[in-house]
Amino acid sequence: MELVPGRVPDFLADDGVGLLRAEDRVFEAMVDGWRAQLLARGLTTAFIQSSCRLVERFQEHSNEYPWTWSAHHVDEFFADRRSGERPLALSTLRAHSGAVRAFCAYLTDSRYGWARLCERVFGDVPSQVVFEWNTPRHTTDDAVPPRRRSFTRGELQTFFDTADDLVDAEFAKGSKRWLPALRDSIAFKVAYAYGLRRRELAMLESVDFGPNPHVPDFGRFGSVQVRWAKGTKGSGPRRRTVLTVPEFDWVVALLEFWLSPDGRARFPTADRSTLMWPSERAGGAALRNFDRSFQRLRELAGLPVELSLHALRHSYVTHLIEAGYDPLFVQQQVGHSYSSTTALYTSVSADFKHKTIQRMIARRIGADDGTDGSSHE
């Protein structure tokens, strides 16, 4: 058998194996082997440690070993964790079930040899015990809090108008606060125009922008390299390139202004780094500064409290889908691994839904009478 990280160790693979407390020794070796496999996959130490601890807690709770686990052990384990004094959130419960599922998948993979060992030593074999029907579903109803949504176009216009008005008001008063207000106003518009997460926005640098050879009209702002994108569980930050799209081409002029002597360069610390959003002291604007500024603008605009800074990213996805962009393109723009995740961000308007239904009806009528349906739209 080809040597792979996590295979049955030699001291267990010998035919003449005879172990004191064999069940405990084999389970410990299984966890150690899974740890080696996760390390080989490049996952972080913190993630690996938490996953292994979760599997060990599951074993202690069931008082059984992997070769005798069954689905009802999963039911009891997660039911207890969901019904305690401090019940786990569904997202946490989903992550925990994913750890048990991954461990079982590792044990049942023939390349590692655990099934053969368990059958020979214990007369039973491990099996997968985590299924779709006994774990939290990854659906819109439970994956996204019901109060989280995107801006409507009217709300978005009101929010940005309020941000601009605040800049004008602070400047008219002669207040020094007009410059940070200008920075935050532009930052929020950039976050929306590229569908950025909070941390991705805060970590942007001027050198991250570059041309798109296919759209020369956008000049040096045809794309942005997001270097601090959210990684998968256990991995570090990922990179992705987000293209400037015609739907948000207004951001090009905004970026040209901000990176001119009349914009970012007004900050006394601007020449000390390439950070897009300098502060009046050393370093750049922190996440908490953007959070406070966003909350203040939302209150001034009279908008609902469920609209968060992250809602600008939701709005980006929603408005691109409404504009007719391919869902796969939108998924790649925002850096989602799965289309189902992008779907969670989409909250299209009732008007868009009605128009979509009308187009479907028109196409069907057109198919029935031999036309393309264009006359009915």
| Residue range 120-156, pLDDT digits in tens | 888 899 999 998 777 776 543 344 454 568 898 899 9
Q: Is 127 left (phi over 0), alpha (psi -120 to 50) or beta?
A: beta
Residue 377 reports pLDDT greater than 60: no
Per-residue confidence (pLDDT) for residue 173, from 0 to 100? 94
pLDDT at 342: 60
> Is pLDDT above 70 for 304?
yes
pLDDT at 106: 93
- Confidence at residue 331, expressed as pLDDT on a 0 to 100 scale: 87
* Confidence (pLDDT) at 143: 46
- In the CATH hierarchy, which fold is given to the domain comprising 153-346? hpI Integrase; Chain A (1.10.443)
Measured distance CA(77)–CA(156) in Å, rounded: 44
Cβ contact 112:8 at 8 Å: yes
Judge whether 339 and 328 are in contact, CB under 8 Å: yes
In the predicted model, what is the mean pLDDT of residues 261-270? 89
The least confident of 74-88, 111-125, 131-145, 360-374 is: 360-374
In the predicted model, what is the mean pLDDT of residues 83-90? Answer: 78
Record the tokens describing residue 61, joined without a space: 């709770």
In the chain, the percentage of residues whose pLDDT exceeds 90 is 46
Weakest mean pLDDT among 77-81, 121-125, 229-233, 292-296 = 229-233
- Would you say the C-alpha torsion 192, 196, 197, 198 has a positive or negative sign? negative
Adjacent-strand bridge partners of 223? 210, 243
Of 73-87, 229-243, 253-267, minimum mean pLDDT range: 229-243
Q: Which tens digits make up the pLDDT trace of 196-206?
A: 988 899 889 99
Residue 324: left if φ>0, alpha if ψ -120 to 50, beta else—which one? left
pLDDT of residue 69: 94
Please check the confidence at residue 15 and state whether its pLDDT lies above 60: no
pLDDT for the residue numbered 199 = 87
| pLDDT at residue 171 tops 60 | yes
The residue ranges of every structural domain in the chain are 10-136, 153-346
Residue 14: band (very low, low, confident or very high) from pLDDT cuts 50, 70, 90: low
- As a whole number, mean pLDDT of residues 301-308 equals 92
Q: Which of 252, 229, 255 is nearest to 240 (CA)?
A: 229
- Average pLDDT for 216-237: 76
